[in-house]
Each structure stands twice: as structure tokens, then as C-alpha cells.
Amino acid sequence: MNATTMAGVEPFELFAIRYGRHTGRRATDNFIGADPHEAGRNLEYFVWVARRSDKVFVIDTGFNATSAAERGRTMLRPPADGVRAVGIDPDQIDQVILTHLHYDHAGSLGAFPRAFFHAQDAETAYATGRCMCHPYLRHPYDVEDVVGFVRAVYASRVVFHDGFSELASGLTLHRVGGHAKGLQVVRVWTRRGFAVLASDATHYYDNFERGLPFPTVYDIGDMMEGFRTVRALADSPDHIIPGHDPRVMELYPPPSAELDGIAARLDVALRESRA
């Protein structure tokens, strides 16, 4: 579906909510093949909200305080508090999309007590299967989060997807894998065209623009193909929203002055050039 076929479809408002940070990273922590002398960059942590008159989707739930302490991450605010700050009550949310099950994306399911969680078949199988016997591959997962997710399965609160799904006119899921076996990205129709919440398909702008894979990876080939997929799904490179790049908060305006530094509007033009 392209922009010309979207006439009459109400666009979504799209928000990034920043809730955490990891400092002291080396360039080699962020890019396979980085020059070890290159300066490292912070990783920032986000959840996202897509909202229009008939639907609200929360995309990812962020990490919890226990994981933040164990892993030396700074929690700027509980992710659900950030969702509340943009005027959404987490208690009333019924649709949460989980891009994948890493601790920083699926770590506070309990903060959305009425939600159904949209996840890929492949991610569920990966996070509960043989690959988790390998410490390197299970490191980005937290067993308590995964167990909580399985409890949601048994409560009939998980909606499974296999590849492509349309959750609403103008909002679709696309499995890309790579970083995690069942990683999915979210394409969202906005008033500036189709934006793509890439999540960890590209942590930084540099990953897809320089073709540099991120070191947490299940399949490098799929990760590289994922860079092409997010480019193809987005109306322009400026419509791709990386999952962890601090520049997102600089490039996009806050929804209001009080939310400066907490949230950014992704459905409006960048306030400065990325060049």
C-alpha cells in the first residue's frame, strides 16, 4: 500500500517516549567493524505510541527497575509513566506491540494489565527454545520477562503473527529477524507519510546508513537485509526511527514544552536536518 491509496485513512499521531540511557559505551559495543579508536555513543531507550481517534497502540514496554539495576542502565522514568505523560492511561491500553522480547522491550508487561500483546511466532520460539541454552544469545533476554510473557500466552493475552500483519488500516507489522530471530518492525501511516518504527532493526541511524551491524545479533545476513526492508517500507530515510539513537530526541520536537526531553513527535517534520 502506498501513500496514494491511503486517501481518507486517518493518520496516526506517533510519539517516541524516552525512558532510559546507557553511557560509557565504546564504538565496538555499537558497531561490528567499528574503528576501536572511534568514540562510543550513548544508547537511549524508548517506547512508542501510535494514536488516532479509533485506536491506540503502545509499541514495546521497556525495561523494569530490576533489569536496570542488574545491567547498569539508567531508568529516567518508568516507561508506563512516560506513556501516561503523553496522555495515555496504561491501565486502559488494550493493544501492545512487542517488537521482540529483549529485556529492554518486553520488561514491564505488568504495567499494561488489560493489554493484548502482539508478537511474532518466531520470537516466541526463539526466546523459549534451544538458542537460549547459549549465554551469548540469551544475554539480552531476562528469564522473568520471558516467563511473564508465557503466562500471558496461557491467559490468552498474546496475539501471534507470522511475518506480515495489518493491525489497522495504516498500521502493519513486518518480521525482519536479524537482531533477534523474530524481531518485527512497525509501519505507521502519519500525516507526513509512512514512518517505520525500526526498533532494533537499526539501533542508530549509522547502522542502516553505513551498513554496520549491531553486535547483538542472531543472523547478520537477516540484519543487513533488514536495513533494506526498513528503507523500502519508509517513505524516506527520514521516516525511519532507529530504536536507540539519542538523535531522535534532538531531531523531533516535543509534543509540548513540558514534555521536552521526555517525548518527541515523530509524525511531524524533523526540526533540523540530519546532515
Which positions lie near Zn ion, rule CB under 5 A?
Answer: 102, 104, 200
| Angstrom distance (rounded) from CA 219 to CA 112 | 31
Pick between residue 142 and residue 200 the one whose CB is nearest to Zn ion. 200
Residue nearest to Zn ion (CB): 102
Pick between residue 107 and residue 255 the one whose CB is nearest to Zn ion. 107
Cβ 139 to Zn ion, closest distance in Å? Answer: 11
Sign of the dihedral through C-alpha 189, 192, 197, 201: positive
Cβ 97 to Zn ion, closest distance in Å? Answer: 14
Pick between residue 102 and residue 187 the one whose CB is nearest to Zn ion. 102
Using DSSP, state whether 53 is helix, strand or coil. Answer: coil
Question: Under a CB-based contact definition with an 8 Å cutoff, are residues 188 and 195 in contact?
Answer: yes
Given its phi and psi angles, is residue 214 left (phi above 0), alpha (psi -120 to 50 degrees) or beta? Answer: beta
Q: What distances in angstroms separate CA 154 from CA 63, 106, 127, 149, 157, one per listed residue?
A: 22, 17, 16, 9, 7
Pick between residue 52 and residue 102 the one whose CB is nearest to Zn ion. 102
Cβ 8 to Zn ion, closest distance in Å? Answer: 35
Joined grid coordinates for residue 219: 543472523
Cβ 201 to Zn ion, closest distance in Å? Answer: 10
Pick between residue 13 and residue 124 the one whose CB is nearest to Zn ion. 124
Question: Under a CB-based contact definition with an 8 Å cutoff, are residues 189 and 12 in contact?
Answer: yes
Edge-first strand listing for the sheet containing 193-199: 164-168, 171-175, 184-190, 193-199, 240-242
Pick between residue 104 and residue 123 the one whose CB is nearest to Zn ion. 104
Cβ 180 to Zn ion, closest distance in Å? Answer: 6
Instruction: Transcribe 94-130 into DSSP letters.
Output: -EEE-S--STTTSS-GGG-TT-EEEEEHHHHHHHTSG
Cβ 64 to Zn ion, closest distance in Å? Answer: 14
